Every structure is written in structure tokens, then in C-alpha cells.
Amino acid sequence: MRETSARLLKLLSLLQTRRDWAGADLAERLNVTPRTVRRDVDKLREIGYPVNATAGVGGGYQLGPGAEMPPLLLDDEETLAVAFGLQSAAGGAVAGIGEASLRALTKLRQVMPSRIRHRLDALRIDVVDRPARSAVDAGILSVVAGVCHNRERLRFDYRSHDGTETRREVEPYSLVRSGARWYLLGWDLLRQDWRSFRVDRLTPKVPTGPRFTARALPEGGAAAFVAAGLARPFTQVQASIALQAPIETIAPMIDERWGTVKSGPDQTCTVTLSGDSLESIAHWLGAFDTDFTILGPPELEAECMRVAERHTFLSERYRASVRPPS
């Protein structure tokens, strides 16, 4: 009996590692006859595992979806990955799944071998209980994911960053996650253009609309389109500055999302910076800790003068705080 149970577990593990298995291959792996494989498959079906079988040449076995969630066999690394994911989900950016995540984690811990439980317990993290401001309702996320998969039009009420509410109708294509926020990429039917929408700001309307024929995605795909939209508010202006430092010193300080750097003569370099305003760029320049010359635009020079005057004022204030009384 123990040998049969061990063989069933091994058979189940094999079925989970590959989509299709020929009966002969399973028999060879288990060191039994094809007839024994058939009997073991019947036993798995009796305890709730939906194993599909196809007859004839090229036939075999496939573990399919069932009406209920049967137990899974996971290796050590898969078990840790699921446990860490459940811990993160308990306080993550999707609202409504925290309690379910904790219940699932409790069940998983109960059946963990001690060697895995010790590794999980070693990663005890104190978390500040601060709900994400842009947490997405799990139900809404599920609806949006469903219409993306089924290629069905979606109508929804949308609240913009300034609180304005509008009714939108889109062909939904893909969900994109950036940090703690979720975005929907869709073709806006009224504006006849691609748009991205924060999922935490939309309220879907049901029933959903008719199915549609997929369009070619924007260049670079859904993630690239959303990333470009997120960067746009921070790249409203550009400026060019010559720095009195070699490129080897400056290059590690420049993030490719908001700046480029090229080498200049005599251990100098030139940076091109993007930002939401020239004022912010003027403040950034102090971080390079070297002499610099503004190459353009001219308006940046005026912003640098304002920063210099502010620093002069602060310098006097600090000096005054430590002057001995007269």
C-alpha cells in the first residue's frame, strides 16, 4: 500500500511537470507496466485529479482543470516562492485578497517540511500597516483581466487625477503593473487612439460589450506604452550642461530614464537632462559636486541664479546661528 501511494505521488508529480505524457514514457519513468499506469490514473481520478487520456498512436495522459482545486505537489523552491508571494499579497496593491492570502499561507505552513518552514521563518519582516493609496479591488482586477482575455469591449466610469469623471468605452488589451499600481492599455473608441488607464480609478459597467478583432499593439508593446506615459510628466523640459568632471565619474550618476552623458575634452563631459521643470533641473545640478556651465536653454541660467540667491540667504542664516554674541 505504501509503495502504491508513493507511486501515485510520483505519477502526479510527473503529470504536473509536462503538458502531455505518453503512457509508455510514464511506465518507463515509474518502472511499471502501461496497465499499471492506467490503474494508477484511475485512482487519481477517484480522488479528484482530472487526468485526461487520448487513445491510439501518439495518445497519452494530460492533467487538466477540474471542478475543484485538488492538492498540488511543489518542490522546495516552488513552495517558498508561493509562500513569499502570499506574504506580499496580504498587504499588497490588490484589495480584498489579504484575508484569503493569510488563510492560504496558514494551510501551506501546516504541510511544509520543517526544512522549508525554517527557511520561511528566517525571512520575518516587520511591515508598516499602511494600505496602498492606489490599491485595486480584486473583483475589478478580475473583470478587467477577463475582458482583456476574451477580447470584449469594456465600458467604465473613469476618474482622472483632478477628480473629473467621464464615461469611457475601450477595446481592452492588457493589464500592466508598475510598482504598486495597475494600468489598463486599451484602444479608446471615442478618441480613436491608444490610452492607458489606472485600474484603481475605473468602475466597470456590466454586461461587457461585443467582442472585437485585435489591433496591432503600439510599438514596443503594452508595457513600453505605459512606461512612456508615466515618464511624460517628468520629461517636459530638457537642458544641456557641461560639467568639469570626467565621464567615468558622472555616468554612474545619470539614470537613462532622465538623462544622457557624452565625453568632452580635457576630462569634461556634457549631460542632457530631462525634468518636469527647469527649476528642478537647477536644483539637481548641485548633486554633481563639480563646476558646470549652462549650454542651454538660456532660461536655466535665470533658475540657477535663483538657486544661488537662495543658497546665499541660507548661508547667512546658518552663519548667524553660530556667531558669538557681541
Evaluate if residue 300 carries a pLDDT over 80.
yes
Q: Can you tell me whether residue 174 is helix, strand or coil?
A: strand
User: Average pLDDT of the chain?
Assistant: 82
pLDDT value, residue 259? 84
DSSP output for 243-306: ESS-HHHHGGG--TTTEEEEE-SSS-EEEEEEES-HHHHHHHGGGG-S-EEEEE-THHHHHHHH
Say which CATH topology domain 235-318 has. Answer: Alpha-Beta Plaits (3.30.70)
- Reference 137, options 76, 199, 94; nearest CA is 94
What is the reported pLDDT for 94?
63
Task: Evaluate whether 37 touches 24 at the Cβ level (below 8 Å).
Answer: no
Q: pLDDT of 220-270, one tens digit each? A: 888 888 888 877 766 788 899 999 999 999 999 988 777 889 988 889 999
What pLDDT is attached to residue 302? 93
Report pLDDT digits (tens) over 85-125: 766 665 556 666 666 766 777 766 766 777 777 777 666 55
CATH fit for domain 2-63, picks 3.40.50.300, 1.10.10.10, 3.30.1550.10, 3.40.190.10: 1.10.10.10
pTM for the full predicted model:
0.53
Tell which residue, 66, 49, 68, 67, has the closest CA to residue 8. 49
Residue 118: in which H helix or E strand, if any?
helix 114-121
Residue 72: pLDDT over 70: no
